[in-house]
Structure 1
Amino acid sequence: MRKSFYEYLMTERNPDSHSEIAEFANNAFFDNLFPKHTNDFDLVSKYLEENASYLPSMTIFDEAWNKYLEYLD
């Protein structure tokens, strides 16, 4: 079964890293409402735009999504 974006993002968690994607992953881990079981770009993007004050730029999400797509290949 294909991993959800959230499942992939959790592989990027690293509390000792200051990379933008690691910080995004660390914060998403504590976001109880994050859409954890989907791989739908539009659904995750809309959620982040409307609810994720911890994400300073959607460019970080775009970079993480591209890494996710590479991971799936």
Structure 2
Amino acid sequence: MRRSFYQYLMTERDPHKKDAVTEFANAAESDDTFPKQSEDYHEISQYLEMNGNYLSSMTVFDEAWNKYTEKNEEL
């Protein structure tokens, strides 16, 4: 079963790691308005551009999105 981007991102959380994707995941967990059910790149990208002040760069989102699509291909 395909999962949402948010569900994937939550697998990247870790209170000890400090890489950019992990920090993104840790911050997104606290974002109550994150589009949690979305699988759409453009919807999530637009949301983050307007509301993702915790995201250091959209490049981090792109990196996480690439990992997400790779993982979903395995499912």
| TM-score with structure 1 setting the length | 0.98
How many residues align? The count is: 73
Deviation at 1:56, TM superposition (A): 1.0
Structure 2 stretches of 5 or more lacking a match?
none
Deviation at 1:14, TM superposition (A): 0.4
Identity of aligned residues (%): 56
Which residue does the alignment assign to 1:44?
Answer: 44
Which residue does the alignment assign to 2:54?
Answer: 54
What does 1:25-40 align with in structure 2 at a 5 Å threshold?
Answer: 25-40=25-40
Deviation at 1:2, TM superposition (A): 1.2
SS in 2 for 1:14: coil
SS in 2 for 1:38: coil
SS in 2 for 1:65: helix
Deviation at 1:4, TM superposition (A): 0.1
Measured in 1, the distance between the counterparts of 2:21 and 2:56 equals 11
Measured in 2, the distance between the counterparts of 1:56 and 1:35 equals 19
Q: Deviations over 1:15-47 (max 9, x none)?
A: 111010000000000000000001000000000
Cα RMSD (Å): 0.5
